[in-house]
Amino acid sequence: MADAIPIPVPSRVQASPVDRISAEAISIPWYIWSCLVAVLSSVVGGAWDISWHESVGRDTFWTPAHMLIYLCGVLSGISCGYLILSTTFRKDSPLRASSISMWSFRGPMGAFICAWGGVAMITSAPFDNWWHEAYGLDVKILSPPHVLLALGMLAIRFGTLVMVLSELNRAHGAYRAKLERLLFFVFTFLMGMTLGIAQEYTGRVLMHGASFYVVVMLIAPIWLAAVATASKHPWAATIMTAMYTAVHFAFTWLLPLVPAEPKLGPVYQKITHLVPPDFPLLLIVPAIVFDLTRRATANWNRWAQAVTLAAAFLASFAAVQWPFADFLMSPAARNWFFAADNYPYFVPPASPWVRNVFVPTEPTLTAFWVRMATALLVGALMTLIGLAWGDWMRRIRR
């Protein structure tokens, strides 16, 4: 018999050049590390700055906390600007195949988002300085320059998330596992920032009102649903929330170690150290329930799954946060661990916060339950958006 002629059998799956690049990568790209450092700089600077305003007052623009915040915009803007220019003008750039085109420039989609965020942050700096010179002490967190600053920081965090996702969705094996850890890191600070922006509506004096639960359901479920869908890890929501809680603990326990005293008046509270943030919300419990419920409802249609996940989140969160709010109002919570006896220097002694009394947000019991139903509806909608958003994130390749 004649020798058999070998017939080439094509591989069932042909890996694209972009996929091969990610599979062979042995380290996280420098531009992702640069943006992660920028994000961390804004996280530390932001917490420090809020504490500085509550402890010392707004004495000068050139505080170390402000410098850390704006370092985020500078570092992100320069690194992503360089990345875009390098990808545009280097015809042999390995990123060209995984980039988008915008206004004749090429680069990863996340780099364009981060670059815009850096410009927004730097633009807000002189605007914020003028605002304080014109109007003095902040009476609200969400002043116009702070809104622009927050949008810039949010854009940088979201752009960093997109860059991590574009690598993650093209990666395999150990490299993918490293990127997944960074994914949790970025999601942690996205949820933390949105909760921080709403802190005026989540103080402990409001925790026995349904409005508090509406605010939390408007923010937390979308992040839990998104990270759980974007990641393949069965405990994604729990890991992210545990990281958020750990970071919050770090600020609550470390900031009071720094001496400080007010430089502005009137001074109603005696301050000897930086005022820490309040004890973190007990989101870790509903996050665990969320992950367990998600597995049990994996094959359900999206609406049924979203309503069930939101109901499980709201019920478990209320079950732990409601009695814990009573504890935070008690003398047992007035220590370094729970930090319930730390007040900004400008809070009057007659404030419900200082007197440790709850502020009712609904006039009647009926109004309370109607608003709690609203919280469930809002949570279901945000969970549905988070699930859909997570699906979209799994398709990002550029």
- Mean pLDDT over 231-243 rounds to 94
Distance, first Cα to last Cα, the chain = 53
The pLDDT, as a whole number, for residue 249 is 96
The pLDDT, as a whole number, for residue 122 is 85
Every domain of the chain and the residues it spans: 15-197, 201-398
The pLDDT, as a whole number, for residue 23 is 45
- Which stretch of 140-154, 238-252, 332-346 has the lowest confidence by average pLDDT? 140-154
- Residue 12, pLDDT above cutoff 70: no
Average pLDDT, the chain: 87
- Mean pLDDT over 248-252 rounds to 95
- Which stretch of 123-137, 211-225, 378-392 has the lowest confidence by average pLDDT? 123-137
Question: Coil, strand, or helix at residue 360?
Answer: coil
- Which stretch of 61-70, 189-198, 308-317 has the lowest confidence by average pLDDT? 61-70
The pLDDT, as a whole number, for residue 15 is 45
The pLDDT, as a whole number, for residue 96 is 72
The pLDDT, as a whole number, for residue 42 is 92
- Mean pLDDT over 186-211 rounds to 92
Provide the CB-side half-sphere exposure for 125 (13 A, CA): 20
The pLDDT, as a whole number, for residue 14 is 46
- Residue 162, pLDDT above cutoff 70: yes
- Mean pLDDT over 74-93 rounds to 87
- With beta carbons less than 8 A apart as the criterion, state whether 192 and 44 touch: no
Within 8 A by CB and 6+ apart from 313, the residues are: 217, 220, 221, 224, 286, 289, 290, 379, 383
- With beta carbons less than 8 A apart as the criterion, state whether 379 and 310 touch: yes
- Mean pLDDT over 298-311 rounds to 94
- Residue 247, pLDDT above cutoff 60: yes
Structure confidence at residue 370 as a pLDDT band (50, 70, 90) = very high
Structure confidence at residue 89 as a pLDDT band (50, 70, 90) = confident
- Mean pLDDT over 243-257 rounds to 95
- Residue 170, pLDDT above cutoff 80: yes
- With beta carbons less than 8 A apart as the criterion, state whether 390 and 225 touch: yes
- Mean pLDDT over 138-151 rounds to 72
